Amino acid sequence: MTNDNELTYGEAVTELEAILAGLEGDDLDVDALAARVGRAAELIKLCRDRIAATRLEVERVVIDLGPE
């Protein structure tokens, strides 16, 4: 398994989509449900953190550009 710090945003979203698809399917493995939900929570946090970091970086770049 890839270290979460090495996952790209796109990879995290893809994994989240796969987890969601598995949860929506008819063959839901109740024994694995808690693990899947826990993993989804980790991925959501990773995505939120990446979005926040990117927003800050964009704001910094815009500030560095200065007024027009």
Asked if the model's pLDDT at residue 24 lies above 70, the reply is yes
The residues, any chain, with a CB within 8 Å of residue 56's CB and separated by 6 or more, are: none
- Supply the pTM of this predicted model: 0.80
Q: What is the pLDDT, as a whole number, of residue 2?
A: 59
Q: Scan for tokens 């800050």, then name that residue.
A: 56
Tell me the per-residue pLDDT of 1-18, one tens digit each, with 9 for 90 and over: 557 779 999 999 999 999
The residues, any chain, with a CB within 8 Å of residue 23's CB and separated by 6 or more, are: 33, 36
